[in-house]
Amino acid sequence: MANISIPQKDSSSTRKAEIEKVAEGYVYNTEYVMPLIEAEGSLDKNDPNWLLQTFRAFLKIRSNLGATVKESGLTFEKELVRRSPKNLVSTIQSGGVSEYYAPDLGVCQPSGKAQSIQDYTDKVFFNIKVPDIASRFDSDEQFGYTFLAGPNPNQVQKMKSIPQAFPITNEHLRSVAEFANDDLSSALNEGRIFFVEHTEMASLKNGLHPQGPKYQYAPWAAFAVPRGGGRLYPFAIQCGPTPQGREIYTPKDGYTWKIARNCVLSAHNNHHEVVTHLGLTHLLVDAAVAATRRKLHVRHPIHALLNQHFEGTVNINVLARTNLIQPGKSVERLVGSDILDNQQYSARSRLAYSFRDNYVPTRLKRFGVFDTKTITAYPYRDDALLVWQAVYDWVSSYVEVYYKNDAEIRADIELQAWAAEATNVGKIKDFGVSPGAVRDRTDLIEIVTMIIFTAGPQHAAVNFTQGTEMTFVPANPLAGYTPEPKGRGHTEKDWVANLPPLDVAVHTLAILTQLAGINHTQLGIYEPEMTLKVGPQLARFVLRLADIERTIDERNKKRVPYIHLKPTRIPASINI
C-alpha cells in the first residue's frame, strides 16, 4: 500500500496523469452480462496465499471425486481424466485448474436418480465430511431457521396485510400446534406474521437437465411467531405467484408439504446464487472497484482504505462471468432456471438495487425485522448489526482524521469524480444521499461502510454458507425436477423424485466446496502503513472485532451455531 495522504484540493497535472494511467488498466466490458458495465483489470494479480488455499481446496475435491468414481457404484458420462505433472503445468498456465480438479463428470448412466435421501450421503460424500445440516434438515424448525441463518438470510419480511395473491387463513395458521388457539388477524396486528416470496421468478424459463426438464418455481411462504416472541414457524406455502389453480399447503400435508418446502428452497437458493450472491455482492462491488481504481489516486485516503477490500475481486469476477455463469457451465447445471434468463435477472436486480436503502439497519427496519422482541433469534440480523456498527465506527474515525469538515468533502475533486463514476458509469443506484456526488462526511462514512460491509461481511454470509448449508443437496436444492405439486397424498418417492439427481449432487459438492473452501485475508487486518496516521483508530477497530467474536461465541452456545459473521472468518474482500 502506498503512503496515505489527503489529496490536494486541486489535482496536480502529475497526479492527474498517474490516475489516468492506472485507469487504462481497468477497462469496461458489457460482453458477458448485458446490460451491466463491468471491470476487467489487467493490473490485478492473485496473492500467493490465495493460490495455495485454492490448490488445497482443489486437492480435497479431486480426492472426493476419485473416490466417488471408484466406490459410489454410479457410472458417469465422462471419465475422470488424469494428467502427468508436465501436463498439469500447462493446465495451470492455461487457467484450466478448475476443469481438471473439479470437473463436471456429466450425467449418470443410465440414470442418476436417487432412490432415497441416504443416497445423497452414501453416493456423494467420501473424502469430504458430510455437513451437520444433513442430520437436521428434514424439519420445519430447520426450514424456518434457513431464512434467518442460511445462504440467503435477508429476505424475510413482516406481513402487514394478507396479500390477495396469497390468501392465507386462520385454518392455515392453526395447522401448527403452537397456534391452535391463535388468530391470524390478531397475529398480523401484533406483527407476528412474516413471509418470503419469489414471485418475480415466474418470468424465468425452466432450465434443462440432459435427462429431462428442470423446474423453477415462484412461491410464497408464510411464517408465524408465538405471542411473546420466539422462532419462525412455517405454516403455509403456495408454490406459484397466484392462487388460481393452486392450493396452499400446511405442515399437515405430509410429503406434499415437504415437496412444497423444496419448491420454496429451490427458488430461494436460485435467487441466492443469481441475485443475492452474484448480483448484489460480486457485481455491485465490481462497480465500486472500477470507480475507485479509475478516479482516486493511490495516495488518496479513501483509495488507501478501500484497496485491501478490493483484493482479488476483479480477477474472481472475470472468472465468474466468463466461466461459471455461461451456457453449459456449472451454474446452468445446478440452478433451476435458464442461464440466459438468469444473467438478465441478475443484471436487472443489480441495476434496480438501491445502495442506500440497503444499508443493514435501514433494510432490516424496512423489512420489519429489526425488532428483537418478536423474532428473538435471528443470527444474521443479530451478528450483522454488530459488525456493521463496528465498521461504521472505524470508517467514521478514519474519515474524521482526513476530513476536518464537510466543506473539505465537497472540495475534493477526486472524491466527487469517484461518486460520479460509480453512479453514472457503474450504475450503482442511490450511491449516497446525492447520487453522483458526496454531500458531507456522514454521507461518505455511510457509502464507505456499505462498500466494506458488502465486500467483507455480506459476501462472507452468502458465500461460506454454501459449504455448510448447500453441499448436502436435500437441505437446500437449487432446482426442482418435478412440477409443483397438485393436490395432496404425495409419497416419499415423490419427494425424493423432486430433488436433483445424483450427478447434480456430485457437481454441487465439487463447485460449492471450491467456493466455500477458500478464506483469504481477514477483516481488520491492513498493511502496516495504515497505522501511520490512524494507528489508534485501527487498534480500537481490531479490539472491537475481537469483542464481537466473543459475543458471537457466547450466542452460539444458545443457538444452532452461526459462524459466518465471526470476524476471524470474514475476509476483507471478495476474492472467491
Cα(219)–Cα(236) distance, rounded to whole angstroms?
A: 11
Q: What is the pLDDT of residue 86?
A: 61
Cα(180)–Cα(174) distance, rounded to whole angstroms?
A: 4
User: 496-501 — which CB contacts under 8 Å span 24+ positions?
Assistant: 496/114, 496/115, 496/116, 496/117, 497/113, 498/259, 498/262, 499/114, 499/120, 499/262, 499/473, 499/474, 500/334, 500/473, 501/107, 501/108, 501/111, 501/112, 501/113, 501/114, 501/209, 501/211
3-state SS, 332-371, equals: HHHCCECHHHHHHHHHHHHHHCECHHHCHHHHHHHCCCCC
Q: What is the pLDDT of residue 111?
A: 87
Q: Is the dihedral of CA 549, 550, 555, 557 positive or negative?
A: positive
Q: What is the pLDDT of residue 96?
A: 65
Pairing of strands 193-197, 220-224: antiparallel
Pairing of strands 208-209, 220-224: unpaired
Cβ-Cβ contacts under 8 Å for 320 (sequence gap 6 or more)? 278, 282
Q: What is the pLDDT of residue 95?
A: 57
Helix (H) or strand (E) holding 390: helix 379-402
Q: What angle do CA 416, 422, 423 make, to 5 degrees?
A: 90
- Nearest CA to 198 out of 263, 284, 283, 259 is that of 263
Q: What is the pLDDT of residue 454?
A: 98
Cα(254)–Cα(492) distance, rounded to whole angstroms?
A: 9
Q: Is the dihedral of CA 27, 31, 32, 34 positive or negative?
A: positive
Q: What is the pLDDT of residue 3?
A: 42
Max distance between CA atoms of the chain, in angstroms, equals 76
Q: What is the pLDDT of residue 6?
A: 44
Q: What is the pLDDT of residue 99?
A: 80
pLDDT tens by residue, 379-426 = 999 999 999 999 999 999 999 999 999 999 999 999 999 999 999 999
Write out the three cell numbers for 358: 440497503
Q: Is the dihedral of CA 102, 107, 112, 117 positive or negative?
A: positive
Q: What is the pLDDT of residue 7?
A: 42
Cis peptide before 110 (omega within 30 of 0): yes
Cα(392)–Cα(447) distance, rounded to whole angstroms?
A: 10
Rg, Å, the chain Cα set: 24
Residues in the chain, pLDDT under 50:
1-10
pLDDT tens by residue, 182-236 = 999 999 999 999 999 999 999 999 999 999 999 999 999 999 999 999 999 999 9
Helix (H) or strand (E) holding 406: helix 406-411
Write out the three cell numbers for 3: 503512503
Q: How far apart are the first and last CA of the chain?
A: 22
DSSP state of 46: -
- Cα–Cα distances in Å, from 173 out to 222, 225, 299? 9, 11, 59
Q: What is the pLDDT of residue 468?
A: 98
